[in-house]
């Protein structure tokens, strides 16, 4: 399970205080004890990454934050293999994470989200 401070941080970056259901956009959301959310409109539960290009992964948020910093802060392209090595995960995982980040950079919404996260992480010196 992710550290709650990481979930709260991602939540603030993504929704800025008003969690919205990624399926139906409803704001009638209940926070569950396991760091997930429940939508009271469509009755689906979701996590902070659900509906973002980083969703569907079991990787802890803190590793995603590191990956975003490595890939997006670098002045030269970082390959999946290298990313895996730097994160201490296997190269398959590194490649998949890199793909998800690149995919996210191609969509305006997630690109802005990544940039917000990066700026905030730099500010916190995390």
Please report, as ranges, the residues that interact with Zn ion according to CB under 5 A.
Answer: 21, 23-24, 26, 39, 41-42
CB of residue 11 to Zn ion, shortest distance in Å? 16
Please give the structure tokens belonging to residue 105: 């950079």
CB of residue 22 to Zn ion, shortest distance in Å? 8
Q: Which is nearer to Zn ion, 4 or 41 (CB)?
A: 41
φ/ψ of 14, rounded to 5, equals -80, -45
Q: Which is nearer to Zn ion, 28 or 126 (CB)?
A: 28
**Helix H or strand E segment including 104:** helix 91-105
Q: Which is nearer to Zn ion, 19 or 21 (CB)?
A: 21
Residue 114: CB partners within 8 Å, gap ≥ 6?
Answer: 68, 72, 101, 104, 105
CB of residue 18 to Zn ion, shortest distance in Å? 14
Q: Which is nearer to Zn ion, 19 or 68 (CB)?
A: 19
CB of residue 45 to Zn ion, shortest distance in Å? 10
Contact, 20 vs 26, CB < 8 A? yes
Contact, 72 vs 121, CB < 8 A? no
């Amino acid at each position: 399970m992710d550290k709650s401070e990481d979930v709260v941080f991602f939540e603030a970056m993504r929704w800025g205080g008003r969690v919205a259901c990624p399926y139906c956009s409803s704001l009638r959301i209940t926070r569950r004890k396991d760091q997930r959310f429940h939508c009271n409109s469509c009755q689906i539960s979701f996590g902070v990454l659900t509906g973002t290009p980083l969703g569907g992964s079991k990787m802890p948020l803190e590793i995603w934050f590191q990956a975003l910093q490595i890939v997006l802060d670098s002045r030269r392209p970082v390959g999946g293999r290298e990313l895996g090595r730097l994160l201490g995960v296997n190269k398959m995982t590194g490649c998949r994470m890199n793909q998800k980040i690149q995919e996210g950079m191609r969509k305006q919404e997630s690109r802005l989200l990544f940039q917000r996260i990066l700026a905030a992480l730099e500010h916190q010196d995390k």
